[in-house]
Amino acid sequence: MAKKSCYHDFADFYDCMDTHADLVYKLIKKKIKKFNPNTKSILEMACGTGRVINKFSRYYNCWGFDASRQMIEKAKEKKKRVNFFIADMRTFNIKHKFDVIFCIFDSINHLLNLNEWKKTFINSYKHLSKGGLFIFDVNTPSQLNNFYNYPVQLLKKNNEYCIIEVKSLSKNSAEWNIIMFKKIKRKKYYISKEKICEKAFALSEIKIRLKSHFNILEIVNSKNQPVKKDEKRIFFICKKK
């Protein structure tokens, strides 16, 4: 049984998950047209296998990075017009600046303390053009605190299997335990385990970390509606000061 870093073997199953990529793409597209219609370049942080940034590549100069080499390899296999590379959202440093940077599918929740969130915000600011947009979504405390008795998810791809169990941990945190059965040869598999942890923070705490570098234009839910109490996922649309 192999225990590996997150998004290693799981990269093979990632595209089997329903992440509502089309809805997220449409939401971001609307915000770009509304707040930065002259956009020419876009960067996606923690892009995974590139499902969303690939959709933008028909219209914009697109870049995407992820900390997982395996995820970037999967993204490159799709042969879209995107410049993919391996990097960490807290520390990436490239010469290019972008009109829009986005980070979705609660990727920033993988950073387990607010100092790391702040580093990511500052790094995004440095890589944005004047007046550029920074768009990201988060799982809220309401989401991460309510994974008790959450149903186990089973994914299947080419006679290989992935079981995902999610559970809430201490206050405002949750853990994804992933077990994969990877085929070696006929009727023989090896078992691989990965673990993904997330931490959520109060809306007020996130706003404080943003305010020195960004103006917050909107905060909406996944349906592009005003945020209500106990919202599970929210999107921040911010503009570089």
Q: Model's pTM, two decimal places? A: 0.94
Please name the helix (run of DSSP H) or strand (run of DSSP E) that holds residue 195, with its range, or none: strand 188-199
| Residue 5 token pair | 């870093």
Residue 5: its pLDDT value, please?
A: 57
The predicted-structure confidence for 106-122, as pLDDT tens digits, reads as follows 999 999 999 999 999 99
**Mean of the per-residue pLDDT values for the chain?**
94
CA distance 234 to 216: 13
Residue 36: its pLDDT value, please?
A: 98
Query: Tokens 């979705």 — which residue?
Result: 104
> Is residue 12's pLDDT more than 50?
yes
Residue 186: its pLDDT value, please?
A: 75
If pLDDT is split at 50, 70 and 90, which confidence band does 184 have?
confident
> Is residue 3's pLDDT more than 60?
no
Residue 1: its pLDDT value, please?
A: 43
Domains of the chain by range and CATH? 16-139+201-240 (3.40.50.150), 143-199 (2.20.25.110)
Question: Of 166, 198, 168, 192, which is closest to residue 179 (Cα–Cα)?
Answer: 192
What integer is the mean pLDDT of 213-229? 96
Residue 109: its pLDDT value, please?
A: 98
CA distance 100 to 34: 12
Residue 163: its pLDDT value, please?
A: 96
If pLDDT is split at 50, 70 and 90, which confidence band does 148 have?
confident
Residue 2: its pLDDT value, please?
A: 43
Strands across the sheet containing 98-103: 82-86, 61-66, 41-45, 98-103, 128-139, 233-240, 214-221
- Tell me the residue length of the chain: 241
Name residues whose C-beta falls within 8 Å of residue 169's C-beta, 6 or more positions apart in sequence: 175, 197
Higher-scoring residue by pLDDT: 62, 17: 62
